[in-house]
Structure 1
Amino acid sequence: MPAFHPFLALALLAGAAPLAASEETRPAAAPTGDADTRYCMRVEPATGTRVERVVCWTRARWASQGVDVDADWAEEGVRVEG
């Protein structure tokens, strides 16, 4: 059975490599844009579901909801549209 340990180690490393790479390339602050740029961020799922929701709003709309896009981008940011 010791012959299987190197394969297990390689499988774990191969699965973890893409996660580590995506975390390192994420910018700490939201990209700049104009007034019409929409920032898509993850929001808490509705009660009773585990499905992650992504909402795309302008900076002004996020601010009206009490969200600082620059402060939350590193953790919750998904993409920018427009």
Structure 2
Amino acid sequence: MNHKLPLITLGIVAASSPLRAQPEVAPASVAPSAPADARYCLRVDPIIGSRMETIQCRTRDDWASLEVDVDQEWADNGVRVIGPGGMPA
């Protein structure tokens, strides 16, 4: 009976520990390079009165015309880059 308690405890600890350590992936600090006509998708503030997150995809030039620096915003709000033809870059 004395040996059952440590075995049960050991089993619980082993079952609750991760099977292998997952490396942490650091987010990219700048947007990945892509062709000039690629679209960069960023999270933007929701419309007033809504809680729905909005993602907009625009070219670097389009974002620049809205005074958004894609490289600066990418670490916090970057989602993906869509290349020419709608394929992920």
Structure 2 residue runs of 5 or longer lacking an equivalent are: 1-11, 84-89
Q: Deviations over 1:24-61 (max 9, x none)?
A: 33211000011111000000000011000000000000
The share of aligned pairs that are identical, in percent, is 45
Partner letter of residue 41 of structure 2? C
Look up the match of 2:46: 45
TM-score between both structures, scaled by the size of structure 2: 0.66
Distance 2:60 2:50 in 1: 27
Aligned twin of 1:73:
74
Question: Secondary structure of 2:74's partner?
Answer: helix
Are residues 1:59 and 2:75 paired?
no
Q: Matched residue pairs, number?
A: 69
Q: Using the alignment, how far apart are the partners of 1:37 and 1:25 within structure 2?
A: 23
Select the structure that is richer in helix.
Answer: 1
After the TM superposition, list the runs of 4 or more consecutive aligned residues in structure 1 that deviate by more than 2 angstroms.
none
